[in-house]
A and B are shown apart, each in its own frame.
Chain A
């Protein structure tokens, strides 16, 4: 099946700094990528939907100026957590869907996740 990678797999940063997380579709072109956040013992919460070449659509309650999303190519989306605080510590997961009409277009492929710890 299609593979989605994330980098880094874990990161520790100091409060007030920014951190960037990359999401790559390795063997297919992803027109749409999604970013989720998951706190311990909780379900995944969708943060935003990212379409290649256009601005991301954020879910209600998610600060777009804090969580900057860029989807500059069909294989790469980035999430930048700006001015991180301890409450931003979480597990961040991306997913990607293939080109509409293709064999993978009905399925979301998830990355392995990135553990962010803000101290």
Chain B
């Protein structure tokens, strides 16, 4: 399973765009990149998943360069409620494939 590296923590203010970058130098050809959000004492929540280029949904965008050795989660106009830990994971898709969680990034949003 590819190892991921993320910043331990980030600080931001309400209304700003936040970009969290994840490095995954050993990503395999059939690996997808998935980001999860976790609030204290809750299970992780799926945010977004992608394979290459750019993916956008109602809550975030995911940018993946051509070499796929990194990815950037972009959260537009964060609010206090976006304060959470964000995990970047890489792995093959398909039912039954286990995920390995790295350290995650603690995002703190202030007024």
Q: Which residues on A are within 8 Å of B, measured CB to CB?
A: 1, 4, 6, 31-32, 34, 36, 43-46, 49, 51, 91, 93, 95, 97-100, 102, 105-113, 115
**Interface on chain B toward A: helix, strand, loop, or mixed SS?**
loop
Nearest B residue to A113 via CB reads B43
Q: Which residues on B are within 8 Å of A, measured CB to CB?
A: 32, 34, 36, 41-46, 49, 87, 93-104
For the complex, give the distance between the alpha carbons of A93 and B101 in Å: 13
| Cβ-defined contact, B43 with A95, below 8 A | yes
Partner of A97, one of B43, B96, B101, B102: B96
| Cβ-defined contact, B98 with A107, below 8 A | no
For the complex, give the distance between the alpha carbons of A105 and B97 in Å: 10
For the complex, give the distance between the alpha carbons of A109 and B95 in Å: 11
